[in-house]
Structure 1
Amino acid sequence: MKLQISSPWPRFLLVKALEWTSAVVALVVLTFAVVQLVPGDPARVIAGQDASPAVVEATRAQLGLDRPMLEQFRDYVLGVLRGDLGESFRTGDAVSHVIAVRLPYTATIALAAMALTLVISLTLGFTVAGLTRGNRNRWLDSAFSWATAGLQALPHYVVGTLLVVLFAVTLGLLPAAGTTGPRSYILPSVALSLGPICAVSRVVRREASAVLEQDYMRTARGWRIGVVKQYAKYAMPNLLASTLTLSGLILAGMLGGAIIVERVFAWPGLGNAVIEAILNRDYAVTRGVILTIGVMAVSVHTLIDIGLALIDSRTLDAEGASA
């Protein structure tokens, strides 16, 4: 008699790998197609507005823009497979070099914003849930809901501008723009995290309120277990799944929000790079940066799914059943 041990992990990881691959393939196609819709002629921009038609055509041939679209797409796909994203039309620098230089700036403020989001939203959501348990302090519940809803609705550029006016112009405590030192990371990170903090704290407050009314939490309170231990040992594990799922979605959204925030603070990250590339009709840089941001977002989703499966096996079983 053979003992057979079946594990859902191989199937689960295979499904996730196929989902990731499909998403990346779609990104490659979309980044090539969307860039073609950007108005303007990069050959005209590079050659100059006063250049003759012959010079413009020569520039277009030099850039490879005179070739058939399918041929351009084939070369683009082959380049992506080799890790070669081409060269900037404007500067001649390798796109991979542009991304390597700019990515750390975007990653730093995105990760700092994510850390702020998790720490503040978990603390705030738990605190409000505890203080309003059993319909107590209903005024606090209403004030929390209105305040977080209002702040979450503010666009990134409005939040960034208000922070600059208050902390840089009025109080003079922090630099308004650029990377002049560690303090220059504060305002972009806060501007990027304010909306997510409001969104996650609302979810944590709702989920924590439900958890605190469970029988095992009543038992813990009956045994006079300390509040910190109640929350850390018994309540927190039951909130990890929903919090991690939402945080993963928000982190992916932060990569897109960074484009606006970086523009407000003149931050030398991928967001500023892609805006400059669009304005200069630099197809190669535009494609490369958008593809990079997209792959990072897809990868974050995949890693979050794997993390949830490690934490909660029911997630693993559900994914396997739906596959």
Structure 2
Amino acid sequence: MSLASSVAPAPRVRVTSHPWVRFGVRRLGRLLVSLWVLITASFLMIHLIPGDPVRAALGPTAPATLVAAKREEMGLDDPILVQYWHYLQNLFTGDLGTSMISQLPVSDIVAQRLPATLSLALLAFICAVVVAVPLGVTMGVLTRRGHGRRTELGFTTTSVIIGIIPDFLIAVGLVYVFGVSLGWLPVAGNDTPSSYILPVFALMIGPAAILSRIIRVEMVAVLEADFIRTARAKRIPARSLYLGHALPNALTASLTLGGLILGSMVAATVLVENVFAWPGLGSTIVSSILNKDYQVVQAIVIVYGATVLIVNTLVDVALALLDPRSMIRED
């Protein structure tokens, strides 16, 4: 027997057996299925609305010939499966339809209004994190091991109260105090940097309170861990102990909540934008609903939903990068 034949072949490792590959396939599959459900729901929205959406958009006095021509132009006389197929084709080529009110391409309307919404939501999220992280860490250090009972009670009570107040109520209160009564800040539009202050504060104050409370709880738990006791025994400076050892572990558990908060901020812009007359998607979708411009409503619903789904997927990936155990536990 030859030496080559006596050596057993090395086992072939399948690419799909790698944890990162399986994780990526699962996340991508979940994202695609969720996007398909979202797109299908937005398509069915027009067909589930009672009455004729074209007649509702054009008004009760519109001539029947105009309504019929508009229905034919939009393909609403075709079988529903044919309409669904055409809808998917147009969507994947970037054609979101035409506004029945302004006669402008819906994609142009979305492209014009989306930057204002994203800038508002992202700036509010950054401000919420900048406030919540140091506040939560400080409260965790001050209230560890049962210390600072009054401080803990006051912080928890205040953060809970702030967290449950709806964003639009905070926005209305800010408009009345700082815009109407004091006249310090603008309350409409986004023409100047100062016009960002009130809507950003209205969006970030509630999430910052919730996130800081979660970070405090995680920080208290991490400070009782064995590796922190070991670090204390080595007489590591307090700054390195809290920021270099405890903080990264506390933030890992809070990352998922942070992603959910960012997604909720994007959705919360709908009401806040209308309070401050912000030229974004939130004010556009409300005016489109009132004007029964359903093509625009469909597109904005897809944009909002897709943004939340993509953000949640990115958070899952970031969490897996920081803590690979969370990826392995799903296998």
TM-score surpassing 0.5?
yes
Gap regions ≥5 residues in structure 1: none
8 A contact 1:40–1:281 mirrored in 2: no
Q: Which residue of the partner structure matches residue 300 of structure 1?
A: 311
Q: Which residue of the partner structure matches residue 23 of structure 1?
A: 34
Q: 2:109 aligns with which of 92, 95, 98?
A: 98
8 A contact 1:60–1:66 mirrored in 2: yes
Q: Partner amino acid for 1:130?
A: V
Q: The residue matched to 1:51 in structure 2 has which SS? A: coil
What is the CA–CA distance in structure 1 between the aligned matches of 2:233 and 2:183, rounded to whole Å?
Answer: 51
Change (3 A) 1:58 1:84: closer
Q: 1:23 offset after TM fit, Å?
A: 0.5
Q: 1:247 aligns with which of 258, 268, 271?
A: 258
Q: 1:87 offset after TM fit, Å?
A: 1.2
Q: Which residue of the partner structure matches residue 2 of structure 1?
A: 10
Change (3 A) 1:19 1:46: closer
Q: What is the alpha-carbon root mean square deviation over aligned residues? A: 1.9
Identical pairs, percent = 39
Change (3 A) 1:132 1:47: closer
Deviates further, 44-53 or 301-310: 44-53
Q: Which residue of the partner structure matches residue 239 of structure 2?
A: 228
Change (3 A) 1:85 1:51: closer
8 A contact 1:41–1:281 mirrored in 2: no
Q: Which residue of the partner structure matches residue 215 of structure 2?
A: 204
Q: 2:284 aligns with which of 273, 278, 293?
A: 273
Return the index of the structure with the highest Cα Rg: 2
1:125-147 deviation per Cα after TM superposition (whole angstroms, max 9, x unaligned): 11111111222211111111111
Gap regions ≥5 residues in structure 2: 1-8
Q: Which residue of the partner structure matches residue 285 of structure 1?
A: 296
Q: 1:55 offset after TM fit, Å?
A: 3.8
What is the CA–CA distance in structure 2 between the aligned matches of 1:80 and 1:303, rounded to whole Å?
Answer: 23
Q: The residue matched to 2:329 in structure 1 has which SS? A: helix
8 A contact 2:46–2:53 mirrored in 1: no
Q: 1:180 offset after TM fit, Å?
A: 2.2
Q: 1:198 offset after TM fit, Å?
A: 1.4
What is the CA–CA distance in structure 2 between the aligned matches of 1:298 and 1:82, rounded to whole Å?
Answer: 21
What is the CA–CA distance in structure 1 between the aligned matches of 2:187 and 2:93, rounded to whole Å?
Answer: 40
Q: Partner amino acid for 1:79?
A: N
Q: Partner amino acid for 1:275?
A: V
Q: Which residue of the partner structure matches residue 183 of structure 2?
A: 172
Q: 2:195 aligns with which of 176, 181, 184?
A: 184
1:259-289 deviation per Cα after TM superposition (whole angstroms, max 9, x unaligned): 1111111111111111111111112111111
What is the CA–CA distance in structure 2 between the aligned matches of 1:188 and 1:179, rounded to whole Å?
Answer: 10
Q: Partner amino acid for 2:224?
A: E
Q: Partner amino acid for 2:55?
A: R
8 A contact 1:47–1:59 mirrored in 2: no
Q: 1:51 aligns with which of 35, 55, 62?
A: 62
What is the CA–CA distance in structure 2 between the aligned matches of 1:37 and 1:193, rounded to whole Å?
Answer: 35
* TM-score, scaled to structure 2: 0.90
* TM-score, scaled to structure 1: 0.92
